[in-house]
Amino acid sequence: MSKLSLLLSCSALITIAACSSSSDSNPDAAPTPTGVATEVDCATAASAPVVINSGMSYSPANTPIAAGGVVKFMLGSSHDVASAVTGLVVPLGGTKCLKFATAGTYTFHCTPHGFVGTVTVQ
């Protein structure tokens, strides 16, 4: 997927989200936060779920964790993690452990290739 195609797709999704409204409120639904992911020492997160890239996708594509949980990202040299979520960034080929304190769905993408993944914090 080209950068232009990715940009156009993101713009369309933002427009749809901004124009939609909900008349029925669900108080039990977890908010989708702008959120914060904070880096922690991977040595202290030995049992954290691991997200890798498998070809042109993240594996697993969705990683569920409890609030306060940690996810370890281990990426190949041509893949990264980028997001609007503060701190949810892993450089090309990087390894990083990130802690998510707030419930919600955190979406991220590979900048060079456009594939996406999520961390769902419950």
Domain count, the chain: 1
Write the secondary structure of 57-81 as one string of H (helix), E (strand) and C (coil).
Answer: CEECCEEEECCCEEEEEECCCCCCE
Residue 65 forms part of a structural domain: yes
pLDDT digits (tens, 9 = 90+) for 46-105: 899 999 998 999 999 999 999 999 999 999 999 999 999 899 999 999 999 999 999 999
Q: Is residue 5 part of a domain?
A: no
Q: Which of 2, 30, 49, 55 is nearest to 106 (CA)?
A: 30
Give 41 or 19, the one with higher predicted confidence: 41
Residue 21 within any structural domain of the chain: no
Say if residue 109's pLDDT is above 70. yes
To the nearest whole number, what is the mean pLDDT of the chain? 80
For residue 69, what are the domain limits? 35-121
Nearest to 17 by CA among 30, 35, 6, 32: 32
Domain assignment present for residue 100? The answer is: yes
CATH number at residue 84: 2.60.40.420
Q: Is the pLDDT higher at 68 or at 23?
A: 68
